[in-house]
Chains A and B, each alone.
Chain A
Amino acid sequence: MQNPYKPDLMEIIGVRQHTADVKSVRLRFKDAERAKEFDFRVGQFGIFSAFGWGESTFNICSSSTWRDHIEFCFRKVGRVTDALWEAGEGDTLGFRGPYGNGYPMDEWRGKDLIFLGGGIAMPPIRCAIWYALENRADYGEITIVYGARTVGDLVYRDELEQWAGHPRVRVVQCVDPGGETPDWKGEIGFVPTVFERAQVAAGNAVALVIGPPIMIKNTIPVLERLGAKMSDVYTSLENRMKCGIGKCGRCNAGPAYVCKEGPVFTFENLRSMPMDY
């Protein structure tokens, strides 16, 4: 009997704390054969579990070009993430996946890439950034605008610095007014306005926009003004999930199972779907 709910066992080989309540975890399959055959597309997600506490859904935030491990990033907000917070190197977690559609990185070849993220939305963008950087010749100009409420809420700050050092990559970091520290060198303002001030050409660009609903709502008109086509503007939905395989009945946004037809949608798709996310 096949059991699609039974996870792979993975060993924690690294933990990084990004903020007071955000950590990322690096995992390796315990089964060497499974590790060898495992493949995924950036933008896909996994269902990760702490045994005794339960399962939670997170984007696989490492690049699919990294063959020896996967990573996920989480904020400590509840029962399962409290248990994940306590887990350390050498501990065992469960993983099911990869699930969902992922970003169409092949279709994005030859385009400029605009990444717009807010808060804890950096991890699902980070995997695409690394993928693009590791296939650098395939993509044009890369712009990354990332903001959080306060300096202390920014995640992957070291990697943001690293990316800024790459040729043809522009990184703009911002924090909400009042969220800055005396030594803050980035912008002060919200992602949509900071992005508009950055004067990025969007005519030949694909944009990936992930963040809180209010950020997305205010960023889309900016992209439209810059000439982006809504069929080239993508996001990743976060509907609550349990099974990840189109059975448990809770993640649908209108007629689409986010776990199967998503989580990645274009805004052209979303505009034809009812507001159920």
Chain B
Amino acid sequence: MSERISKNDLRQRAGEWIAAGKAVAGPVQVKPGTVLYAPLAAADALLLDGWIRPSNSIKEFIFPRHEALYGYRIDGAGITLDDLPAEIPEQIIVGAHPCDASALPILDKLFNWDSRDDFFNRRREATTVITIACTAHDEQCFCTSVGLSPAAERGSDALLVDSGDGNYEVRILSEKGAALFGAAVSGAAVDSIAPDGSALSPAPAAGAPERRFDPAAVAEFAKEHFEDPFWREHALACVGCGACAYTCPVCHCFDIVDEGNPRGGVRARNWDACQFALFTLHSSGHNPRPAQGARQRQRIYHKFFMYPEKFGETLCTGCGNCARNCPVGLGVLPLVSEICHAESV
């Protein structure tokens, strides 16, 4: 038996969580036409309907754009390193999309293979993700092409499915979700998707985006056409701004820099992006990816070939943010469509 909650009650609950001192974030209209996942000062700002998806992703609440790794103090020739306060407040993300929530278990693998990255893990553990199944999609949505769906449960602690009468059906998927809604776990989140799509959750009435491509065919193309003029030709318009990576739920590349003054500061990690020329520039001046074509190739190669080879996961949730935020009409789906066109797959 599943729980139900009305939209009004959900908003009221969010207000109670905020009042209880929890950090709550969700979709907010920050200016006309722009919706972002942002911290909620009051539940009124929580946007539940009437938009496709925020321009950013929830990764920034777990893998922040800027994160101090430790502090350093300089006193003459002496250096003191300081662990920084590690108290991570419990946070709730309400109104995540399945293409955001499903990014988290994909990133778990990267941040925990070989050595553990507890900066990621501690925020992940402190975060409860309440996902709302999508009832609408646009031409950039392609979750069904990467093994997900508008109601995919993966990575969510609770999934709310709009039943069309002002209510959500509440599927509790973890103990964290159960604790928030005071209900029992109704089933484990589907954590692996069969290649034939058999484990997909049913799509809500509005329908799912049609399947546009086969990720395995894209992987094959990226691997077999590494030196192909395709990349140069299709990256001509790329301005190397990195918006694709910054708004992607799973892009995770980072830089490590010192920020401070002559007496001390912090060593911090900041988001970085493979579309920047400096990303791979050697100090000798040699650059293995000297032009934008090689950098666009890297993005597709990493997502569809390298990451699956290493971690058994496609590094893409089909959210479409890269294309929606690209100033020149590139992004995963536009490029992959060209690959499919080139290969007739």
Contact = CB atoms under 8 A, between A and B. Distances in A.
Main secondary structure of the interface of A (DSSP, over half): loop
Interface in A10-64: 49, 51-56
Contacts of A247: 110-111, 115, 117, 252, 254
B267 A274 contact: no
Contact of B283 (A77, A91, A92, A275): A77
Nearest to B278: A240
Contact of B288 (A1, A6, A49, A277): A277
Given A52-B262, A213-B286, A247-B110, A240 B117 contact: no
Contacts of B262: 52
A248 B306 contact: no
Given A51-B72, A92-B79, A243-B254, A276 B289 contact: yes
B86 interface: yes
Most chain-A CB neighbours within 10 Å: which of B74, B122, B288, B309? B288
Given A52-B72, A92-B77, A4 B256 contact: no
Main secondary structure of the interface of B (DSSP, over half): mixed
Given A239-B280, A248-B253, A252-B302, A51 B74 contact: yes
B274 A212 contact: no
Given A5-B69, A92-B78, A255-B309, A51 B258 contact: yes
Contacts of B258: 49, 51-54
B256 A5 contact: yes
Interface string A51-94: 11111100000000000000000010110010000000011101
Contact of B227 (A1, A53, A81, A274): A274
B214 to A, nearest CB: 20
B118 A255 contact: no
A213 B290 CA distance: 14
Given A5-B69, A52-B262, A245 B114 contact: yes
Most chain-A CB neighbours within 10 Å: which of B83, B111, B122, B284? B284
12 contacts: A51-B258, A52-B72, A52-B261, A54-B258, A94-B79, A239-B280, A245-B114, A247-B252, A248-B256, A249-B253, A252-B298, A252-B306
Contacts of B282: 238-240
B60 interface: no
A199 interface: no
A3 interface: yes
A140 interface: no
A277 B288 CA distance: 5
Contacts of B72: 51-52
A136 interface: no
A242 interface: yes
Given A3-B118, A276-B298, 12 more contacts: A2-B116, A3-B83, A6-B69, A9-B81, A51-B258, A53-B258, A54-B256, A55-B256, A90-B77, A246-B115, A248-B255, A250-B274
Interface in B88-121: 110-111, 113-119
Contacts of B114: 245-246, 260
Most chain-A CB neighbours within 10 Å: which of B110, B260, B283? B283
